[in-house]
Amino acid sequence: MTTSNSPASPTKPVKQIPPFQGRRLLPEGVKDLFGTPAAQLQALSDRLRRHFSAWGYDEVIPPTFEYFDTLALGTGPRLEESMYRFFDREGQALALRPDLTVPIARIAATRCFDQPLPQRYAYVATVFRYEAPHGGQQREFYQAGAELIGAASPHADTEILALAVEAIRALGIQNFRLSVGHIGFFRNLLSGLSLSKTETRALIEAVDRRNVPLLNRQLARTSIPEPDRQLLASLPGLCGGPDILDRARNLLPANHTAHAVIDYLGLVYQLLEAYGLGEVVMIDFGEVRGMDYYTGITFEAFAAGSGYAIASGGRYDDLLARFGADLPAVGFALLLERAMRVLERAGQEPVEPRPDAIMVACAHPPCLADLLRRRAFGQRVELDVAEKPLADVIAQARERGIPTVLSCKRAISTQTE
Amino acid sequence: MNDSQPLTLALSKGKLLEPSLQLFEKVGYDLTALRSKSRRLMMDEPQGQLRFLSAKGPDVPVYVEHGVADLGIAGRDVLEETGADVLVPLFLGFGQCRMVLAAPQSRPHQDLRLAHDLRVATKYPAITQRWFRRQGLSAQIVGLGGSIELAPEAGLADIIVDIVETGRTLHENNLVEAETILNIEACLIVNRASHKLRLNEINRLISKIAAVVAPERKS
């Protein structure tokens, strides 16, 4: 990531700082943000906070670390494995939060359970996972997301989907798709087939990888009867526009319980169309990965310029019960670093942390009053506390791309020459 | 979306390259340019639908996972070794070989559970580690870049995990196969984001490839 504010300069030799010679300054997986990327991240975070707030979602700020056991109660095994763990001085196992969904579920279930429902929570925060860095995402990375707790209606699901789409748009990302599935479809196809855990896992793997030959091979190893086998074999291809709903309907026998799931998704799709979001939405019944966590709709957002999903979410009605309050919930998280890459690849101008003017320090009360007034009106004005000669102030302003130098009420443009 | 941009396909240099080129010629693409100027690392076919990018075998899953390439052809060995999170819609029927556990002829049937301080030499440490864990065994993995068959005789390892096609190399180095760990063949892999963003183009390409692969498959 580029951090310099000045135009591209030839690479300078790396200066070795004596105390760090031969040693890395930072552990792998974390990064310093300053200059443009920091300003950019802050600007995007602000935009998302305003967006969440406008939809009625309140900021929630859980602690950065808490008891490992408490977090592990809510995470699946994969996330549990990736948690940063450590001990406090009493020997209690602690962990850094690997997401915000679990702490929010804990807060809603243990502290706010008797408050009016539904409850709406939002956050922009860092999370920590001991994983190989991928897609611009390091071991500490930024998530922005929302959780809607205590409502299980299609309207609730649609609100979270629409909120996710509008959040992506609020960032300035144009070219993207939201792929929506429903884990209930796969569950319904499997119910009554009495498959072993190993067989189910093999089927999930083949469907998830969209590998029809492998899926057929796995199906042949099971005792699944022919009509069900054909249904399962069609899953990897049940992905596309809204016509997929009809294709799925036609594949199912008339009285199959999975029809209810298709009808439900159809309803959600209609609601999304009413929001004006039909175009960006795809339907995908082949999304089966979150089987052990999600209980209803699942979704992922993909944008041109990122090989990885930039946002994902779904309904998880079983999670809050683990913390003592049996409340339905749906939510999503957006990965800010990936979104920033997408914007960068789309050629969007990043937010530059650049002052509007530098004022020469003169200590005249009227000049300082002018300085304060400009700042109060939202201008970004630096005072030259180093007391450089005017020519040097102008030279530096020009180098940093700052358009104006203020000297005793005289506004000197740095761009005329 | 992006209909003007060709789909980018990463090909493995090495022994998968020729059968991969033949595959796309059978599908109907004109690859003369690619064949004649094979030094170039990136090249579009004349219709402008596909851009070929040649990479080292183990890099192909990485390119595709990151979305630098939309699709790729990679052996199951490198796919499993990198653990890349990609779609694998098709097995392609070529590049077939096996990854095996091989032991010295002098001790062909050693019981791995009884061996202590077992050292395994391999070019595929991740696959090997996973296999040993799944068997409930522990082993010290010695990661090597090549000539794995020499490791036992050189005293670097007790057994090896390596790829065999005919078994001749093993035999020449006084090794015998003990177990097949992975059946390998070339796979078509697809980036997860590309699959969604360019669904129709990719599905069309997959079915064209499937059509020329399917009749030749034995199973």
Question: In sequence order, what DSSP letters do the residues of A374-396 get, joined into one string?
Answer: HHHTT--EEEETT---HHHHHHH
Residues A287, A388, single domain; the answer is no
Contact A302 B192 (CB under 8 A): yes
- Select from B68, B86, B193 the Cβ nearest to the Cβ of A309: B193
A28 within some domain: no
The token duo for B23 is 């595959």
| CATH 3.40.190.10 domain position(s) in chain B | 7-95+185-218, 97-183
A373 and A268 in a common domain? no
Tell me the sheet residues that pair with A176. Answer: A303
> Taking a C-beta distance cutoff of 8 angstroms, is the pair A355, A380 a contact?
yes
A340 and A362 in one domain?
no
Q: What is the CA radius of gyration of chain B?
A: 20
Q: A21 by DSSP, 3-state: which?
A: coil
User: Which residue among A324, A345, A366 closes a domain?
Assistant: A345
Residues of B in contact with A284 (CB under 8 A): 196
CATH superfamily, domain at B97-183: Periplasmic binding protein-like II (3.40.190.10)
d(CA A45, CA B90): 41
Q: Which residue of A has its CA nearest to B198?
A: A304
In a domain, A148, yes or no: yes
Query: Could you give the 3-state DSSP secondary structure of residue B4?
Result: coil
CATH number at residue A221: 3.30.930.10
How large is the ipTM? 0.87
Distance CA B205, CA B24 (A): 10
**Range list of H helices, A24-153:** 36-54, 68-74, 77-81, 101-110
Please give the pLDDT value at position B6.
94
Could you tell me if A261 and A113 lie in one domain? Answer: yes
* pLDDT of res. B214: 72
Residue A348's pLDDT is what? 84
Neighbouring-strand partners of residue A59: A122
Minimal Cα distance from B201: which residue of A? A240
One domain for residues A46 and A154? yes
- Please name the residues in contact with A304: beta carbons below 8 A apart, sequence gap of 6 or more: A175, A176, A342, A345, A346, B1, B2, B197
Q: Is residue A178 part of a domain?
A: yes
Tell me, yes or no, whether A98 and A220 share the same domain.
Answer: yes
Closest to A118 in 3D by CA, of A287, A331, A285: A331
- In terms of domains, do A9 and A49 share one? no
Q: What are phi and psi of B173, to 5 degrees?
A: -105, 20
In a domain, A103, yes or no: yes
Look at residue A350 and tell me if it is in a domain: no
Closest residue in chain B to residue A310, using alpha carbons only = B193
Residue B91: closest CA among chain A residues belongs to which residue?
A: A213
Range of the domain at A379: 1-18+355-417
Asked if A241 contacts A284 with a C-beta cutoff of 8 angstroms, the reply is no
Closest CB to B87: pick one of A134, A209, A240.
A209
Q: Would you state the structure tokens that stand for residue A262, as one six-digit string?
A: 């298709």
Nearest residue of B to residue A135, measured between CA atoms: B66
Nearest to A307 among B66, B200, B203 (CB): B66
Are residue A151 and residue A276 in the same domain, yes or no? yes
How many Cβ atoms sit within 10 Å of the Cβ of residue A106? 22
pLDDT of residue B218: 46
Contact (CB<8Å) A239/B199:
yes
- Note whether A323 and A359 are same-domain residues: no
- Interface residue B5 vs chain A (CB under 8 A): no
What would the two tokens of residue A84 be? 């940063």
- SS3 at position A209: coil
Domain-located, residue A376: yes
Residue A118, preceding peptide bond in cis (omega within 30° of 0): yes
In degrees rounded to 5, what are phi and psi of residue B130?
A: -60, -45
Contact A281, A300 (CB under 8 A): no
Q: Which residues contact A379 (CB under 8 A, 6 or more apart)?
A: A356, A357
Pick the last residue of a domain from A288, A312, A345: A345
A295, A316 Cβ separation under 8 angstroms: yes
Q: Give the H/E segment covering residue B48.
A: none
Question: Is the minimum CB–CB distance between A239 and chain B shorter than 8 Å?
Answer: yes
pLDDT by residue for chain B (219 residues), tens only, comes to 445 689 999 999 889 999 999 999 999 998 888 887 666 778 888 888 899 999 999 999 999 999 999 999 999 999 999 999 999 999 999 999 999 999 988 876 667 777 778 899 999 999 999 999 988 888 899 999 888 999 998 889 999 999 998 888 888 889 999 889 999 999 999 999 999 999 999 999 999 999 999 765 544
Q: Beta A140-149 vs A329-335: how paired, if at all?
A: antiparallel
* Alpha-carbon distance B27 to nearest alpha carbon in chain A (angstroms): 19
Q: How far apart are CA A242 and CA A256, in angstroms?
A: 20
- In chain A, the number of structural domains is 2
pLDDT for B1 equals 44
Low-confidence ranges of chain A (pLDDT < 70): 1-11, 14, 16-17, 135, 416-417
Written as six digits, the tokens of B176 are 């015998």
* Residue A175 structure tokens: 């070219």
The answer to whether residues A411 and A334 belong to one domain is no
pLDDT the model gives residue B216:
56
CB contact under 8 A, B67 and A307: yes
d(CA B32, CA A298): 45
Residues of A in contact with B86 (CB under 8 A): 209
The reported pLDDT for the residue numbered A395 is 95
- The reply to whether A335 falls in a domain is yes
Same domain, A339 and A376: no
- Residue numbers in A near B134 (CB within 8 A): none
A242 touching chain B per CB within 8 A: no
User: Considering the domain B7-95+185-218 in this protein, what is its CATH number?
Assistant: 3.40.190.10
Question: What's the maximum distance between 2 C-alpha atoms anywhere in chain A?
Answer: 90
Residue A309 lies inside a defined structural domain of this protein: yes
Whose tokens are 């399962």? That residue is A232
Q: Of the candidates A345, A363, A397, which is a domain's last residue?
A: A345
For residue A181, give the nearest of A104, A273, A100, A258 by alpha carbon.
Answer: A258
Q: Tell if the CB–CB gap between A309 and B90 is shorter than 8 Å.
A: no
In terms of domains, do A251 and A378 share one?
no
